[in-house]
Every structure is written in structure tokens, then in C-alpha cells.
Structure 1
């Protein structure tokens, strides 16, 4: 006999949606025809969503890098119209360090088959890769055993 669900008990997981595995900007926020424009939009979004002024972000980036970063530079890096002044990689990393927004890297990597994830997941990824390698070895061992039993 099947048990009926207790209608008076709320379903705790009904409205639960797990967080995304890979942090990305909403596509409409960084949509662009070129990678450089997508990154410029991502830079603008990350700065805006950081809750800090551009002046504070520029100073923090400068402190991180040990060089001078100005608000005008951030304005250029976040301008889609300014195609000549893309943000250099080391400054993109500094912006990531200052904002903590990993979506910046994934905006850059969007046209590749690579993603950026937090370092805390490295051990889990390594474990899964080891499991895949073990499964492959198990298949090879089973195939060799079958061949041996078949007398070949």
C-alpha cells in the first residue's frame, strides 16, 4: 500500500534552485558580437555590482598591482565603443581580486571550451578526474580478463 503525502507538511525543497555551478553574467548583460566588447561589458557590470565607486575600485586595483590605475582607465576598459583600450590580462585579474567576481573570467572564456571555477573546487575536480581514470583502467582490465578467458 502506498503512503500518501502529508498535505499539512510543507515541501522544503519545492522552491529550491541550486546555485549555478559556473558563475556567469546574465547573457543579455554582456551580449556582444566580439570578445573585446563582451569583456568591456563584463568589466562595467562587475564594477557596478561591486557596490564600490570607480575611484575606490581603481585605488584597490592599483594597490593590488603596485601601479597607478585611474578612473579614466576603468572608463576606457568598460567602454564598448573604445576598441583600442581593452583591459590587459593582469588588470583583469586585479579587478577580479578586488571585486571577487569570477564572472569576469568566464566572460573572457565564453568562446572557448574552458571555464573558471573557484580554487576550493580543485580537489573535487581532481577526484572526479581520478575516478574517470580508474573507470578507464577497470574497463581495460575487464577487457583483458575477458580476452584471457576466451583463450586468445
Structure 2
């Protein structure tokens, strides 16, 4: 009698999920229709997701920017109620740099119907676009040849 082999792969296939290729927060993570509120939520998510503490983030941003960024400023940027304290673009970029939270880049890109992907995928995307263009050209050529043959 032959002993059945244990299946080690099926479980892996059933639980497989594609890797995250585009930067951005999970759907529903940022709510509301007001842009200022959404930005505050995005900043709060970036602060929360960082392995650095808020004092460490503030210190690193201070070093990056060359002027003081306090822990209190970060708290205000992350607060939807602190309307008088909005994050500037340069501080937003420094926050991305310091926290490594590229989901903030995706947050901005999504507002314009775009996605932010790792640069290593650029060539693959270009190959796909070239293949699409090539298919259109082949269809055009076939249609023109059909017209030529009908004359």
C-alpha cells in the first residue's frame, strides 16, 4: 500500500494574497469629505504606524528641516480640531522621510486618480504599455489589410 503524501501547498495557495504594490492607506482608513480633516487623519496614521516615538519623529524632522518641529506641533497636525495648525508641504515631506510612511504619498496620488508604486515596477509597467500599443497596431494593420483585400 502506498502512503499518501502530505499536501503542504494547498494551505499556502488558499491563504495567498497579492503583495501590496501601491502606496496608500487601507480603504476606509481615512474618512470624511473635508480635505483638512483627511490630511490630519493621514498624519495621525503615519505617526501611529511609525516605530519611532513622537519625540523621536519631532527631533528627526528638526534635523531634516533645520528648524524646530515640536511634539506638540505633530499632535496639532494630527488633530482634526486644531484648524489653526495645518502641516506645510515641507513638513509633510519631512514626515514621510522620517517615518518612512510612503502611504502618505499614495494618499496624495489617490486624490488625482493616480497610484504611487515602487520605482522597480516602472520597467514592468512600460513593457505592459508597449504590449498594449503593439496589440492596437496589430489590430489596425489587420483592419487595413482587410480593407486592401476587399478593394
- Give the TM-score, by structure 2 length: 0.81
Q: CA deviation at 1:46?
A: 0.9
User: What value does the CA root-mean-square deviation take over the aligned residues?
Assistant: 2.1
Q: CA deviation at 1:28?
A: 4.1
Higher relative contact order, chain-length normalized (CA < 8 Å, sep 6+): 2
Distance 1:109 1:81, change over 3 A: farther
Q: Helix, strand or coil for the counterpart of 1:30?
A: coil
Distance 1:90 1:120, change over 3 A: farther
Q: Hey, what's the Cα distance between the residues in 2 that align with 1:46 and 1:127?
A: 33
* Alignment of structure 1 residues 1-152 onto 2, 5 Å: 8-10=6-8, 11=10, 12-151=12-151
Q: CA deviation at 1:38?
A: 1.3
Would you say the 8 A contact 1:61–1:98 is kept in 2?
yes
Q: Hey, what's the Cα distance between the residues in 2 that align with 1:67 and 1:16?
A: 46
Bigger drift between 39-48 and 6-15 goes to: 6-15
Q: Hey, what's the Cα distance between the residues in 2 that align with 1:129 and 1:91?
A: 35
Q: Hey, what's the Cα distance between the residues in 2 that align with 1:86 and 1:108?
A: 16
Per-residue CA deviation, residues 78-137 of structure 1 (Å, 9 max, x unaligned), is: 111122332222222221121221211222344331121222222222222222222222
- Give the TM-score, by structure 1 length: 0.81
Structure 1: where are the runs of 5+ without partners? 1-5
Q: Hey, what's the Cα distance between the residues in 2 that align with 1:49 and 1:140?
A: 50
Distance 1:145 1:101, change over 3 A: same
Q: Tell me how many residue pairs correspond in the alignment.
A: 146
